[in-house]
């Protein structure tokens, strides 16, 4: 009798467990998640190319349980609304260019000081490391999915820029750290996001721009800007951010897929960028007879010397905001060595 009661108990416990497991731990990805991902520039540009790559990888690695709906070209959020739009939940994910709100992202924008980041792959890994090391206050309201940078900026212009004299008072478009560089060289720097630049160039509001050269092809700037002056100066830093409560609500397995992608995505985007700049310039020379101007070593020194005060000034302004300015700059320099 006793034995029978016991076996009954074991069997019913088994049933209960089976039902419990069946409902509480269903197949790993059972709950479908749909995410809206906003981006500000047009679809052919690198921030959007990396967005499509991230979408493909996430959907693949979650067996389709996560679907990502991408919105390039500012169709969901524009360049300057991106950060707050994601915080407010207007989009689940967004891609921001930190240069468009330089005061807001002090620590990470230090990567756009003239510290000679050699290429986008190195820069992307430096930026992501710096972010992880400092966990800046400015990103506390969001989940950072990855970060990456543009290739070093060069001058694209309608008229050739062969000297600082040619640059004097010239209306060129740039933002953030890159804008400080243009000012130091005596250009008339005009600030606006990349997404507003095609129209400004078309209308003649600006006579050129200062950014990475893949836009010569992706935004067809080679049709208007027939000249490139190689300066290889500073990068533009970017971040991909997610709404915090949306992130908190994701299954752990999904979170792991996204966290595991973070560094890989930064490296992938940097590498894509570096290769694409070469492609873009080959295309620009061949299809649009774009001329490349290289500074002489004497000129390069003259131009670089003008930039010397920028970092010192930034360190002071960082200190004024209670940030360890010197340490941040030193850390960026060591991170460059680490990833080069």
> Exposure string (b/e) for 285-320, b if CB count within 10 Å is 16 or more?
eeebebeebebeeebeeebeebbeebbeebbeebee
Q: DSSP letter at 204?
A: T
Nearer to ligand 3IO among residue 66 and residue 174 (C-beta): 174
Sequence length of the chain is 340
Q: Does 150 bind ligand 3IO (CB under 6 A)?
A: yes
Nearer to ligand 3IO among residue 201 and residue 254 (C-beta): 201
Nearer to ligand 3IO among residue 155 and residue 254 (C-beta): 155
What would the x/- binding string for ligand 3IO be over residues 204 to 223, using CB under 6 A? Answer: -------xx--x--------
Nearer to ligand 3IO among residue 41 and residue 325 (C-beta): 41
Q: Does 47 bind ligand 3IO (CB under 6 A)?
A: yes
Which residues partner with 94 through β-bridges? 38, 241
Nearer to ligand 3IO among residue 146 and residue 212 (C-beta): 212
Do residues 172 and 145 touch, judged by C-beta distance below 8 A?
no
> Exposure string (b/e) for 241-275, b if CB count within 10 Å is 16 or more?
bbbeebbeebbeebeebbeebbbebbbbbbebbbe
What would the x/- binding string for ligand 3IO be over residues 156 to 175, using CB under 6 A? Answer: -------------------x
Antiparallel, parallel or unpaired: β 171-173 and 208-211: parallel
* Alpha-carbon radius of gyration of the chain: 24
Query: Of 29-37, 44-52, 135-143, 221-229, which segment contacts ligand 3IO by CB under 6 A?
Result: 44-52
- Distance between CA 172 and CA 168 in Å, rounded? 10
Q: Does 70 bind ligand 3IO (CB under 6 A)?
A: no
Of 169, 312, 147, the C-alpha closest to 139 is: 147
What would the x/- binding string for ligand 3IO be over residues 90 to 129, using CB under 6 A? Answer: -------x-x------------------------------
Query: Of 38-46, 117-125, 126-134, 244-252, which segment contacts ligand 3IO by CB under 6 A?
Result: 38-46
Residues of the shown chain interacting with ligand 3IO in the complex, contacts defined by CB under 6 A:
41, 45-47, 97, 99, 150, 175, 193-194, 211-212, 215, 236
């Amino acid at each position: 009798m006793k034995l029978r009661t016991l076996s009954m108990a074991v069997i019913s416990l088994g049933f209960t467990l089976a039902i419990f497991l069946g409902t509480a731990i269903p197949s790993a990805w059972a709950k479908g998640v749909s995410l809206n991902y906003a981006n500000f520039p047009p679809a052919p540009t690198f921030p959007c190319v990396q967005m499509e790559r991230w979408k493909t990888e996430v959907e693949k690695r979650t067996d389709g349980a996560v679907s990502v709906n991408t919105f390039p070209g500012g169709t969901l959020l524009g360049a300057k609304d991106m950060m707050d739009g994601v915080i407010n939940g207007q989009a689940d994910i967004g891609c921001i260019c930190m240069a468009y709100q330089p005061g807001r992202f002090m620590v990470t924008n230090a990567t756009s000081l003239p510290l000679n980041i050699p290429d986008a792959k190195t820069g992307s890994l430096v930026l992501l490391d710096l972010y992880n090391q400092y966990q800046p206050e400015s990103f506390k309201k969001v989940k950072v999915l990855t970060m990456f940078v543009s290739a070093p900026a060069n001058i694209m212009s309608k008229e050739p820029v062969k000297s600082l004299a040619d640059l004097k008072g010239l209306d060129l478009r740039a933002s953030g750290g890159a804008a400080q560089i243009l000012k130091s060289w005596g250009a008339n720097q005009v600030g606006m996001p990349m997404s507003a630049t095609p129209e400004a160039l078309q209308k003649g509001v600006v006579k050129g721009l200062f950014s990475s050269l893949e836009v010569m092809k992706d935004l067809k700037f080679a049709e208007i800007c027939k000249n490139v002056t190689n300066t290889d100066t500073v990068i533009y830093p970017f971040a991909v951010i997610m709404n915090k409560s949306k992130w908190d609500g994701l299954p752990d397995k999904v979170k792991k897929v996204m966290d595991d992608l973070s560094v890989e995505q930064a490296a992938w985007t940097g590498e894509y960028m570096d290769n694409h700049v070469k492609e873009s310039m080959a295309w620009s020379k061949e299809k649009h007879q774009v001329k490349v101007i290289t500074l002489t070593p004497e000129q390069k020194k003259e131009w670089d010397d003008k930039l010397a005060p920028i970092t010192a000034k930034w360190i002071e302004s960082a200190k004024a905001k209670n940030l360890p300015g010197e340490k941040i700059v030193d850390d960026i320099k060591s991170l460059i060595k680490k990833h080069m």
